Amino acid sequence: MIALPILMQAEKGGDGDNANRGTSVITRTKPKTKKPNLYRVLLLNDDYTPMEFVIHILERFFQKDREAATRIMLHVHNHGVGECGIFTYEVAETKVSQVMDFARQHQHPLQCVMEKK
């Protein structure tokens, strides 16, 4: 946590540095944290993309081991949609692009989307 200086109206008069402008710097002590917006990256089922290709996608772009990748692929196959991971906006956007580009290079119709949590 970084203590941010806050400019305050104070100390009019006197002979210090702040006297001329009637200002002084105080420091925020309470930790002020901001939660980032998070996005789920989802794979959608289709009838044509090979199961092995989807497993490879999950290993390559989402750092899943073979067991986790297979479980997620089968979940998507059986339920129509499944979560690959949860990321900040820019990371999620990058993952979606990487998956879509890779699928198109291999001429598979696989769809990957992101959704705000």
Q: Which of 18, 24, 45, 70 binds ligand TYC (CB under 6 A)?
A: 45
What DSSP assignment string belongs to the chain? -PPPEEEEE---SSSSTTTTTTEEEEE--S----PPPEEEEEEE--SSS-HHHHHHHHHHHH---HHHHHHHHHHHHHHSEEEEEEEEHHHHHHHHHHHHHHHHHTT---EEEEEE-
Residue 77 touches ligand TYC, criterion: CB under 6 A: yes
Q: Which of 41, 58, 69, 76 binds ligand TYC (CB under 6 A)?
A: 76
Closer to ligand TYC by Cβ: residue 11 or 53: 53
The amino acid at 115: E
Residue 46 touches ligand TYC, criterion: CB under 6 A: yes
> Interacting stretch for ligand TYC, rule CB under 6 A, among 4-12, 15-23, 73-81, 84-92?
73-81
Closer to ligand TYC by Cβ: residue 76 or 92: 76
The binding site for ligand TYC (CB under 6 A) comprises: 43-47, 49-51, 54, 73, 76-77, 110
